Amino acid sequence: MRSPVEHVVGLAYAASLREVPRAWIRALPAMGQAPFNPPNVKGWEGGRAWLGDTALLVRLNLAAGLKGPLDLFVFAEGEGLEALVRPEAQLL
């Protein structure tokens, strides 16, 4: 699971924005990661901690507010989205 900062930067990159909108930066604490303000010296928990109800809703609202095409391949891990589909398609 990507951290809120990684998600926001990736979303801006996918939307071909030259900089991250300030509204998105202000939304980071609602997603559980206030930049330069970790909860303790260890930092943020990460992983499933990023999937709370509020955090997920904020992520969805950011994506829903975008206009224009997105290059979703920036979110793909490894070989891309096709690598996730091919094994399932072979079972059909």
pLDDT for 31-56, tens place per residue?
A: 989 888 888 888 888 777 787 888 88
Q: Count of domains in the chain? A: 1
Tokens of 75: 């979110």
Q: Which residue has the tokens 């499933």?
A: 48
Mean pLDDT by 10 residues, the chain (92 residues): 86 86 91 87 80 85 80 61 49 38
Inter-axis angle of helices 53-64 and 4-14, nearest 10: 10
Domain boundaries, position 84: 4-90
Q: Which 3 state secondary structure label does DSSP give 42?
A: coil
Give every CB contact of residue 3 below 8 A, 6+ residues apart in sequence: 33, 44, 46, 50
